[in-house]
Amino acid sequence: MKVGFIGLGNMGSAIARNLAKAGHSLRVYNRTRARAEEFRALGATVAATPGEAASGVEVLITMLADDHALEDVMSGSGQAVQSLSAGAIHAGMSTISVALSRRLAEAHRERQQHYIAAPVFGRPEAAAAAKLFVMAAGPSDQIERCRVLFDAIGQKTFVVDEQAPSANTVKLAGNFLISTTIESLAESFALVQKSGIDVSKFLDVLTGSLFAAPIFRTYGGLIAKGQYEPAGFKMPLGLKDNRLLLEAAEEKAVPLPMASLIRDRFLTAMAQGLGEADWSAIARMSLQNAGLEKAA
């Protein structure tokens, strides 16, 4: 397929590389042009603007950091919505607000374009290995058009709903569960460590019995080793996702007391200078509270 791709950070670059390897024709754009230039060797065309990346493609994929960045390239100075052809698809893979997803769906509908929300679960190493999980929502026929792309980047695609914002709700709720898992692991590790038990052995017990899921293996391993850099998912992005979750919950009048606790963990970590660390570094707060680690 002819694919436009905007946003070549750690996740976006890995996704775009797998699309190129699968034989799709890419037109790429990144705010830092040097990241886009790397894709010439894979046969990609480097676009000078977001609008150029969106022009003449069948599918435009965006993988950007937040609402502001996505709005700017789509309907702000980037004008990608205006450049996208009628009948083309915008597959938004960014973790964005439910409200922005609704606005994008309407903006594309007005121009006779299609919008699919397709955020993913998986860290950069999973993206590089084409092992992401795709949460797709939007018109079912358009999701089927994109399935060949999703198959090239992930191990499974979940079709959530016909309404695009539903995928964003699922993504935010899923990230909330990851953050609370990090918190519960950290609190458990603090108790085990202060009791003189080897946390690695404790982790072996968890992942070898009732908690064998990848999320416990991945984040349990990072916390046990204190390995928070290089960041696979930086602290400010975790805080951003938490804020979007609380906004979505407030709109639906759903109390999320654990989300408020996690928010304070993120803010404390940021205040202590952990802005460049992986979001799992909120575990340090529990260790500090137990007297096991000094502040950053």
Over the stretch 95-108, which tens digit does the pLDDT of each residue have?
999 999 999 999 99
158: its two tokens:
């979940």
Neighbours of 270 (CB within 10 A): 16
The pLDDT tens digits of the residues spanning 40-62 come to: 999 999 999 999 999 999 999 99
Quick one: average pLDDT of 193-211? 97
Q: Does 248 score more than 60 pLDDT?
A: yes
Three-state DSSP state, 195:
coil
Structure confidence at residue 84 as a pLDDT band (50, 70, 90): very high
Full-model pTM: 0.96
pLDDT band at 294 (very low <50, low <70, confident <90, very high): confident
Is residue 21 flagged as an active site residue?
Answer: no
CA 161 to centroid of chain Cα atoms: 19
Taking residues 241-249, report their average pLDDT: 98
| Segment 87-145, tens digit of pLDDT | 999 999 999 999 999 999 999 999 999 999 999 999 999 999 999 999 999 999 999 99
Cis bond before residue 230 (omega within 30° of 0) = yes
Please state, in angstroms and rounded to a whole number, the distance separating the CA atoms of residues 197 and 191. 9
Cα 68 from chain centroid (whole Å): 15
8 Å CB contact between 95 and 244: yes
In angstroms, the CA 224 to CA 202 distance is 9
- CB-based contacts of 220-225 (< 8 A; 24+ apart in sequence): 220/185, 222/278, 222/280, 223/182, 223/185, 223/186, 223/189, 223/199, 223/280, 223/283, 224/189, 224/199, 224/200
In this prediction, residue 295 carries a pLDDT of: 60
Q: Which one of 156, 171, 252, 294 is the catalytic residue?
A: 171
The DSSP code for 27 is E
Cis bond leading into 139, ω under 30°?
no
CB contact at 8 A, 193 and 199: yes
List phi, psi (to 5°) of 53. Answer: -65, -30
What pLDDT digit, counting tens, does each position of 172-184 carry?
999 999 999 999 9
Q: How far apart are CA 232 and CA 189, in angstroms?
A: 21
Q: Helix, strand or coil for residue 115?
A: strand
Phi, psi for 18 (deg, rounded to 5)? -70, -35
Q: Is the pLDDT of residue 296 over 90?
A: no
Report pLDDT digits (tens) over 266-286: 999 999 999 999 999 999 999
pLDDT for position 12:
98
pLDDT at residue number 223: 97
Task: Place 293 in a pLDDT band, splitting at 50, 70 and 90.
Answer: confident
Name the average pLDDT for the chain. 97
Mean pLDDT of 228-252: 97
Question: Running DSSP on this structure, what letter comes out for residue 278?
Answer: B
Residue 214 carries which side chain, given as an amino acid letter? P
**Using alpha carbons only, how large is the chain's radius of gyration in Å?**
20
Angle at 124 (CA atoms; ends 204, 272), nearest 5 degrees: 75
Average of per-residue pLDDT across 234-262? 98
What pLDDT does 251 receive?
97
Separation of alpha carbons 121 and 124, rounded Å: 10
